[in-house]
Structure 1
Amino acid sequence: MYYPGYQNTMSEHLYRQAKTNRMTVTGEGTVSATPDQAIITIGVINEGQNLSAAQKENADKTAAVIQGMLSLGISQSDIQTSSYRIDPQYNYENGQQIFRGYRVEHQLQVTVKDIRKTGQVIDTAVASGANSVSSIQFTVSNPDAFYNQALTLAIQNAQQKAITMARSFGVTLQPVPVVVQEISQQLPPRPVPFQAAMLAQSAETPIQPGENRITATVKVEYTYS
């Protein structure tokens, strides 16, 4: 015999039970990747009282820097302007602001796909007229492949945690999770400030790329009985 009220009560009970018998764990996975390319920020900074003359001087030196990059086999598409600024400069004497001239700054972002040339690129840029090397960022050209490896490790880590918890409580874990949420964010490695003192070295500037650590984090929800 069909009892609508009884069936509704049972459905609510099973729903509450399913909601109650859940555990949520987080998992983290990390892989190390050897960088295979470098992103360098190189600039030309100069000052002059005449704006047009200061701009021309900056443009000439920047063109020489770009030519130096091209001579090393850097592709034109791997050289791009990251910033260009013109700022008036002042001296302050006896509480008064006295105009000194203009400061022109042109920053280039250069991607070096042959990481072994990183030191040579910096030295060539400086020899060509660059007087600012503000940062170096070592990256991998295919970060998604490493991130997916880290993501797999994160899921395995979460699963192992859930199994351990289920054993500790003496319950049976359902192996297939009901919710898997990716909570990590793949971020590029932080740029490394470049020490200006290194520009004075006569030998090729030594650059150590080290390793990138790529981490993934997930939140996984399991049911158990």
Structure 2
Amino acid sequence: MYYYQPFVRNTVQSGSHFRSKPNTLRVSGEGKLAAQPDLANIKLGVITEDQELQKAQGQNTAAISNIKKSLNAIGITDKQVQTSDFTIIPQYDFVDGKQIFRGYRVEHILGITVAELDNAGLVVDTGVENGANTVREITFETENQQDLYQQALNAAVMDAYKKAKTIAAALNVQLISTPVSVTEGTLGMEQPVSIQSSAFVKSAVSTPIQPGTIEIESRITAEFIYYS
């Protein structure tokens, strides 16, 4: 997508000579790179409910502890596991327009970083087999994401320049190749896999996790000067 100002010849007199005023050409540029992920981020945990908060918390704590021990047993260290979310929510039922207290809901979600992508499915299965009853999300990323983004950003700048050059040639005007301004867009990264679920049940079949590829995208807007 690009935008440009309609060509208007603007001249000013300097002695016996005329020269054109500069005009502005605004274009957008995009750069995309596909990369193989090398890290998996898994969010799973335990949801417990009870009329007594202490009991709901106790059941939740025991289950989380069991999950952590089981993950340690398959090679996931404590540094790879951290609490992603912890909430205590009062639960109510509505009967005949009245709010009736039902109990407490305790949610404890763990964020697990897995460097060996082949083990992502094993981590999910191990967590579920040892007490996890919710899997919130599975996403992938790459350790050199910033380096790849810089490459995508460079490609976006070149894309913007090529567009500006093409437009200038079509208008038969002189383009100043160095932009007078460049505005960077936000970092974009399309995830190959994202699983969201409120509940996850045990299965006799191992969970297949396919990482696919990550698409890293950069967008810029650049303004160039051109003369007629």
Counterparts of 1:181 and 1:200, CA distance in 2: 49
Equivalent residue for 1:193, pick from 192, 195, 204: 195
- 8 Å Cα contact 2:129/2:202 also seen in 1: no
Deviation string, structure 1 residues 155-174 (Cα, Å, up to 9, x no partner): 11111111111111112222
Tell me the equivalent position of 1:28: 30
The alpha-carbon distance between structure 1 residues 206 and 175, as it changes in their structure 2 partners (threshold 3 A), is same
Q: Which amino acid aligns with 1:101?
A: G
Greater Cα offset, 129-138 or 199-208:
199-208
Deviation string, structure 1 residues 8-34 (Cα, Å, up to 9, x no partner): x85xx99982xx333221111111112
Scaled by the length of structure 1, what TM-score is found? 0.83
The alpha-carbon distance between structure 1 residues 70 and 188, as it changes in their structure 2 partners (threshold 3 A), is farther
Deviation string, structure 1 residues 115-163 (Cα, Å, up to 9, x no partner): 1111000000001110000111111122111111111111111111111
Q: Which has the larger share of helix?
A: 1
Within the alignment, does 1:178 sit opposite 2:193 as a pair? no
Which consecutive unaligned segments of at least 5 residues does structure 1 have?
A: 1-8
- 8 Å Cα contact 1:81/1:107 also seen in 2: yes
Residues 126-165 of structure 1 aligned to structure 2 (within 5 Å): 126-165=128-167
Which consecutive unaligned segments of at least 5 residues does structure 2 have?
A: 1-12
The alpha-carbon distance between structure 1 residues 96 and 178, as it changes in their structure 2 partners (threshold 3 A), is closer
Give the Å deviation of 1:196: 6.7
Counterparts of 1:46 and 1:137, CA distance in 2: 25
Greater Cα offset, 94-103 or 47-56:
94-103
Q: Which amino acid aligns with 1:219?
A: T
Deviation string, structure 1 residues 22-56 (Cα, Å, up to 9, x no partner): 32211111111121111111111112233222211
Scaled by the length of structure 2, what TM-score is found? 0.82
Counterparts of 1:223 and 1:77, CA distance in 2: 52
- Aligned residue for 1:204, secondary structure, equals coil
Q: Which amino acid aligns with 1:78?
A: Q
Counterparts of 2:126 and 2:19, CA distance in 1: 69
Greater Cα offset, 72-81 or 22-31:
72-81
Within the alignment, does 1:38 sit opposite 2:13 as a pair? no
Tell me the equivalent position of 1:210: 212
Taking only the aligned residue pairs, the percentage that are identical comes to: 38
